[in-house]
Structure 1
Amino acid sequence: MGSCGTFSVSLKKRDIISAALPLQDHWLPMSNLDLLLPPLDVGVFFCYKNSFSLDVSMNIIKKSLAEALVAFYPLAGEIVHNSLGEPELLCNNRGVEFVHAYADIELQNIDLYHPDESVEGKLVPVRKQGVLTVQVTELSCGGLVIGCSFDHRVADAYSINLFLIAWAELARSKPISNPPSFRRSTLNPRRPPIANAFYNDLFLPPPSSLPLPLPFAPTDPLINRIYYMEAKDITHLQTLSSFDGSPKRSKLVSFTAFLWKIMAECEDGLKTCKMGVVVDGRERLDKTTTFDKLSLSNSMSSSMQNYFGNVLSIPYGEVVSSELKDMPLGLVAEMVHDFLFPAMTEEHFRGLIDWVELDRPETSVPKVYGKKDENDGEAIVVSSGQRFPVGGIDFGWGKPHFGSYHFPWGGQTGYVMPMPSPRKNGDWIVYMHLFQKHLDLVETKGRSVFKPLNPAYLEL
């Protein structure tokens, strides 16, 4: 495919897009689950091979963004701190920074396999102020890349997916199919809050000088890569992850188990290695407690399906790497199931909300982010992106040829997100943010499963 590291992006115009209707300034408190998030930015981008004429496309994008900000008004506000030092949302319609840029490159020549060179700071903007920044980059081939960067303290991926779909619907002159809910009372603590020391094992307070707890962090940088997995390989992993007579494991559990075993191959045998999985609490808080719902069922009641904010927990497992290497994949999948199962209930999230309430205004972050001592091994967090609506982000000129989240979140914990392929054939796109040593194993031990993303696969 050739390197794209030499292409540059030039600024054409910078604007501020505010909500199309006037909004009265007001405060929107963060929920207790929002307060678990440190200041992190999340990126997402969509690649379009063709669009309307440039002027028409830009007008559609800007006009529909202004309309979307009426319903999703927190994205046009800013985060400030109250007298206790806690973040709050000031919904003042200060607007969204909007960048219009140009890249002298064709879409088929962008090396998406190496997003550090092609995406970071080029196609996904750096958020400098406000909650959301948007960049539209026109390409020499007539295509477009739409990139966004948002403050994770305000929204999780599920929430941003709601916004992206609504934005695209308004661009096509359609009504918003799922208007957002900001009803924070849904996540109020119980009265009185119930103390549970269980959460002390999942979270720890960060040092004040760092966004994440890294007292024993190595200095090697983490690297971004994007792969694809074919449906047959995903199904094969699922088969290998199930013992004879045991329950069939979900594709996400099977994928996580496979990645965990790969990770253990490069660790010192006496060290542990940790694997965490992001769990969305929306279904659990809607009284959905069956573990099989982890398989990413879209069925949930209306009370939480439109909630905009963070509803996340990150349970994790920790095993001595030498033991993990020798385990069959089915046993590793069982361990993934075992550390996930306690988080698949309403009580887990109600208890977490209460636990945060009892510690306020102190803040905490998931313990999988940090190291207890220098003998601790590495950690990776898997976040399912199977609800990523790449096919639904159509602004009127067709669906994206490719889309992905981009989340180099800082610190020394790896991050992996599998998403549906735009080919809609059961394949997955897998974004990875890992140490080089882990990526080396992904491309040796896992080479039959993880294939570098290329223009031929995307049919560019």
Structure 2
Amino acid sequence: MEVKVTSSTILPSPTSHHSDIPLTIFDRFAANIHIYVIYAFTPPTPSNADLISALSKTLVYFPTLTANLSTDCHGRPCVSVGGPHEDRGALVVEATVLSKLEDHLPLTPSPDLRLLHPDAENPKHLLQVQLNRFQCGGLVIGLTSHHRVADGRSMCAFTIAWGKILRGVPIDPLPFYDQPWLKPRNPPLVQFDHWGSEFIHLSPQSNEFIITRTDVDPSEITNLLLHFSPDFITKLKAQTNKLSTDKHTTFETLLGYLWRKMTIARQLDDEECTTLSVSVNGRRRLQPTVPPEFFGNLVLNAYPKAKAKALIEGGAATAAGIVREGLRFIGEDYFQSFIDFGEVYGDRDLVPCFEKDGNVLSPKIEVDGWLGLGFDEVNFGGGGKLCAFLPTWVPFEGLLIFSPSLSQSGGVDVFVSLLEKHAVTMREISHSLD
């Protein structure tokens, strides 16, 4: 894929007033990385000028995306909004691709797709956008955002809002940033052990939190995009629910199924413990529930686990049941305990556990569910349609990302990252019902 950059500009912060907004305990738990996704649209599409103008207007409602990560006068991590700074503002790059979009469809994760993002190796801005114009009118938007500012639901809301502004549709309801639900109890009550689950305690006596890193050359890692049709999912759920007293959701069923398949592909020892790290949205867990228009981070992880042999031999119903129990454990009391943990330990140097991982997570699996977030509802008008939405390329082993399929028949697409030697087996067994 040959990509030629034609222009680059920085959209300034919508406010000239400088303020430091402390990171919440949920922001500090979020991965300290940029997330890369692409949206592909068939022609006709809006002009770059209209897209950039609408983006500038949209950022008025999402000012933290034009901020930079910093520390405040008390040494606490924060986002600095407004005022002059070389890393503030949103970077927008315009580029042309010397081929037709249709020649690349269906899009699948590839290192070449990183060319559709600005400076994918060392991004400076919290939000970076590249508008890639293909021959014959196709458009791919490469969107890069920092996870410490917003989780997946928030970034979905931002992208949908950008499309609404472009189409002249009011944003209703508007995003908001107040955080009354983050109020700790008095006195704080830390009911669960968040050391070792969410954060590593950095101290001279922190040997109990030593994590063994596993790293390989990134060329040994590959990404797959597996499609599961509605018919396949229906058969899988029927098979799973027949052997279970519970009726499992599509997510629980498909995750349990793929957990077993990845365990087989990885060739784990029988007694080796494999753990899922599944993102759990706190907006529905906290009471009263947090409105979906809240912009920021409000996600923790559930950790279902099992020994490899028991997981494989237990079948799909057993795996789905373990997933369900793990997700249920992260309820309102767990989120409130985490908020209280932030009140008690927030002044310490907190390092999320996963920041000590290498680029191979096995026997663990990191799981993100984008089903129901609304990414498939992104609409920039112009008459074209969204034909692809996916992570760009992830040079880490052990990820599963679930997203709604944009194929005509629907279903679910699952992004999988594995060592190439294990991906060979995964391709062979991924759709084998057993």
Q: Does TM, scored on the shorter chain, surpass 0.5?
A: yes
Q: Report deviation, 1:314.
A: 0.9
1:385 counterpart = 2:378: no
Match of 1:77, as an amino acid? A
Closer/same/farther in 2, CA of residues 424 and 354 from structure 1, 3 Å limit: farther
Match of 1:403, as an amino acid? F
Which residue is 2:133 aligned to? 138
- Contact 1:49 / 1:142 at 8 angstroms: preserved in 2? yes
Q: Residue 124 of structure 2 is aligned with which of 115, 120, 129? A: 129
Match of 1:217, as an amino acid? T
Which residue is 1:33 aligned to? 26
**DSSP 3-state at the match of 2:428:** coil
1:107 counterpart = 2:101: yes
In the alignment, the residues of structure 2 paired with residue 248 and residue 196 of structure 1 have an alpha-carbon distance, to the nearest angstrom, of 30
Closer/same/farther in 2, CA of residues 260 and 358 from structure 1, 3 Å limit: same
Q: Residue 178 of structure 2 is aligned with which of 175, 183, 198? A: 183
1:166 counterpart = 2:161: yes
1:46 counterpart = 2:46: no
Q: Report deviation, 1:436.
A: 2.3
In the alignment, the residues of structure 1 paired with residue 375 and residue 2 of structure 2 have an alpha-carbon distance, to the nearest angstrom, of 26
Which residue is 1:271 aligned to? 272
Q: Residue 15 of structure 1 is aligned with which of 9, 34, 37? A: 9
What are the residue-to-residue correspondences of 1:55-454 with 2, within 5 Å?
57-82=47-72, 85-92=75-82, 94-110=88-104, 114-123=108-117, 126=120, 128-200=123-195, 202-205=197-200, 215-221=212-218, 222-244=221-243, 246-265=245-264, 266-287=267-288, 303-343=290-330, 345-360=331-346, 361-366=348-353, 370=357, 377-397=362-382, 398-406=384-392, 408=394, 412=397, 414-423=398-407, 425-448=409-432
Give TM-score scaled by structure 2 length.
Answer: 0.87
Match of 1:116, as an amino acid? S
- Contact 1:113 / 1:227 at 8 angstroms: preserved in 2? no
- Contact 1:213 / 1:370 at 8 angstroms: preserved in 2? no
Q: Report deviation, 1:384.
A: 1.0
Which residue is 1:457 aligned to? none
In the alignment, the residues of structure 1 paired with residue 279 and residue 118 of structure 2 have an alpha-carbon distance, to the nearest angstrom, of 23
Cα deviation, 1:29-86, whole Å, max 9, x if unaligned, reads: 211111112311111211112134xxx6111101100100100011111111235654
Q: Report deviation, 1:114.
A: 4.2
**DSSP 3-state at the match of 1:154:** coil
Q: Report deviation, 1:214.
A: 5.7
- Contact 2:244 / 2:317 at 8 angstroms: preserved in 1? no
When the two chains are superposed, the root-mean-square deviation of aligned CA atoms in Å is 2.8
In the alignment, the residues of structure 1 paired with residue 243 and residue 431 of structure 2 have an alpha-carbon distance, to the nearest angstrom, of 27
Closer/same/farther in 2, CA of residues 237 and 84 from structure 1, 3 Å limit: farther
**DSSP 3-state at the match of 1:386:** coil
Q: Report deviation, 1:13.
A: 0.4
Q: Detail structure 1 runs of 4+ shifted over 6 Å in the superposition.
A: none
Stretch moving more, 169-178 or 430-439: 430-439
**DSSP 3-state at the match of 2:369:** coil
In the alignment, the residues of structure 2 paired with residue 400 and residue 153 of structure 1 have an alpha-carbon distance, to the nearest angstrom, of 27
Q: Report deviation, 1:333.
A: 1.2
**DSSP 3-state at the match of 1:161:** helix
**DSSP 3-state at the match of 2:194:** helix
Structure 2 residues without counterparts, runs of 5 or longer = 204-208
In the alignment, the residues of structure 1 paired with residue 155 and residue 62 of structure 2 have an alpha-carbon distance, to the nearest angstrom, of 10
Give TM-score scaled by structure 1 length.
Answer: 0.83
In the alignment, the residues of structure 1 paired with residue 393 and residue 27 of structure 2 have an alpha-carbon distance, to the nearest angstrom, of 18
In the alignment, the residues of structure 2 paired with residue 215 and residue 83 of structure 1 have an alpha-carbon distance, to the nearest angstrom, of 35
Q: Report deviation, 1:245.
A: 6.0
- Contact 1:104 / 1:140 at 8 angstroms: preserved in 2? yes
Q: Report deviation, 1:243.
A: 4.6
- Contact 1:97 / 1:133 at 8 angstroms: preserved in 2? yes
Q: Report deviation, 1:316.
A: 1.1
Match of 2:153, as an amino acid? Y
**DSSP 3-state at the match of 1:219:** coil
Closer/same/farther in 2, CA of residues 142 and 213 from structure 1, 3 Å limit: farther
- Contact 1:33 / 1:312 at 8 angstroms: preserved in 2? yes
- Contact 2:109 / 2:391 at 8 angstroms: preserved in 1? no
Cα deviation, 1:366-396, whole Å, max 9, x if unaligned, reads: 569749xx9x952112211113434432222
Q: Report deviation, 1:268.
A: 2.4
- Contact 1:406 / 1:431 at 8 angstroms: preserved in 2? no
- Contact 2:243 / 2:317 at 8 angstroms: preserved in 1? no
Closer/same/farther in 2, CA of residues 363 and 22 from structure 1, 3 Å limit: closer
Match of 1:69, as an amino acid? L
- Contact 2:42 / 2:385 at 8 angstroms: preserved in 1? no
Closer/same/farther in 2, CA of residues 80 and 22 from structure 1, 3 Å limit: closer
- Contact 2:276 / 2:365 at 8 angstroms: preserved in 1? yes
In the alignment, the residues of structure 2 paired with residue 271 and residue 186 of structure 1 have an alpha-carbon distance, to the nearest angstrom, of 39
Cα deviation, 1:213-266, whole Å, max 9, x if unaligned, reads: 863314253322222210111122222222556110111011111111112212
Q: Report deviation, 1:173.
A: 1.1
- Contact 2:233 / 2:254 at 8 angstroms: preserved in 1? yes
